[in-house]
A and B are shown apart, each in its own frame.
Chain A
Amino acid sequence: MPMPPSHTQPAHAAPGGTESLVVATGGSATAGGTTTAATGSVDVWAHHAGHASIAIGDASFQAKAGATGSATPTAAATTFFNESGANVTVLLESSGSTQGSTDASAGSTLHFIAIANGSSNPHGPVVIDVQLPFHSHPDASAVDASAGNYAQVAATADAHGTGTTAATVSDATTVENQFSFVHAASLVAV
């Protein structure tokens, strides 16, 4: 029961932009078995205010699988974060997995904040006032993995400021009684 991926690209690149902070984040989740569920979401928000740029976001991927008979269920989930040009970065990444004889689950999530202070005084004060909209994340734990094969993914990239770039890519694939797979990534340059 694959669901179409979603894309949100509120901002686009301005030719000749002078981006100083580039962030790419995302992940993937794979569940193999007769009943599978894979979900993922990526949210990135970035702002360029002239003297400083900031990017905040998170990525979360989960996989659940069940199998009957001699088949062994598998579940894997990963996330990644890459940045360029940041003076300050904070990254918290957590992952886990459980493998049983009839069921398996895995999850990985990360949260990050990256700041590029391009002012003439790189050690001057930077005041950050961010009000993020609420995003509803797909969650495999809320999916009944005992019925069918399910995949859902969402990716958003929201960039504000002149000369900014935002892009997303996502895939959701299921094969009946075989596996579910999701992948998503978001990129911002501000």
Chain B
Amino acid sequence: MSTVSSFSAGLASTALATGSHTTTFTAAKTAAWSGTAVAYGDAVAAAQGAGALQTSAATDGFAFGGNTYSAHSLTWSVDYPSGSLHTSVDVSVTVAASYGQGDPLSGYGLTSPLVHGLF
């Protein structure tokens, strides 16, 4: 989770796979600076085997601050037999962002740059 001034972002990603052959992957990345907060996360769960399989991939995130909040998520699930084996794959991706009413240069000490004489 990242927090700068009144901007913050957080994300959670989980992946669960049960079966004889399984793999999972998760990623969660956040960034916040004055004026913008962004969160990104993905989760992948895959399982293959002859027995019962279960896969679950979920992501959820938030961004706070500013006057505009936007979030998008995408989930993709495939479950199919392949010969005597069964394959199941779940993918989830979430992006959240918040922006507006901030000064992106405040962190660099340039909030009040002197421009007299430049123009």
- Point out residues on A near B: beta carbons under 8 Å: 86-101, 122-123
- Point out residues on B near A: beta carbons under 8 Å: 67-81, 83-84
Contact status A95-B79, CB under 8 Å: no
Contact status B74-A93, CB under 8 Å: yes
Q: How many A-B residue pairs have CB under 8 A?
A: 57
B94's nearest neighbour on chain A, judged by CB, is A95
Q: A86 with B79: in contact, given A99-B68, A100-B67, A100-B68 (CB under 8 Å)?
A: yes
Q: Which of A87, A99, A101 contacts B70, CB < 8 Å?
A: A99
Nearest Cβ in chain B — how far from A103, in angstroms? Answer: 9
User: A93–B79 Cα gap in the complex (Å)?
Assistant: 15
Contact status B81-A87, CB under 8 Å: yes
Contacts of A93 in B (CB 8 A): 74-77
Contact status A96-B72, CB under 8 Å: yes
Contact status B67-A90, CB under 8 Å: no
Contacts of B84 in A (CB 8 A): 123
Cross-chain pairs A/B with CB under 8 angstroms, 25 sampled: A86-B79, A87-B80, A89-B77, A89-B80, A90-B77, A90-B78, A90-B79, A90-B80, A91-B75, A91-B76, A93-B74, A94-B73, A94-B74, A94-B75, A96-B70, A96-B72, A96-B73, A97-B72, A98-B68, A98-B71, A99-B69, A100-B67, A100-B69, A101-B68, A123-B81
Contact status B68-A88, CB under 8 Å: no
Contact status A88-B67, CB under 8 Å: no
Contacts of B73 in A (CB 8 A): 94-96
Q: Which of A91, A97, A100 contacts B77, CB < 8 Å?
A: A91
Nearest Cβ in chain B — how far from A86, in angstroms? Answer: 7
Contact status B71-A96, CB under 8 Å: yes
A105's nearest neighbour on chain B, judged by CB, is B70
Contacts of A98 in B (CB 8 A): 68-71
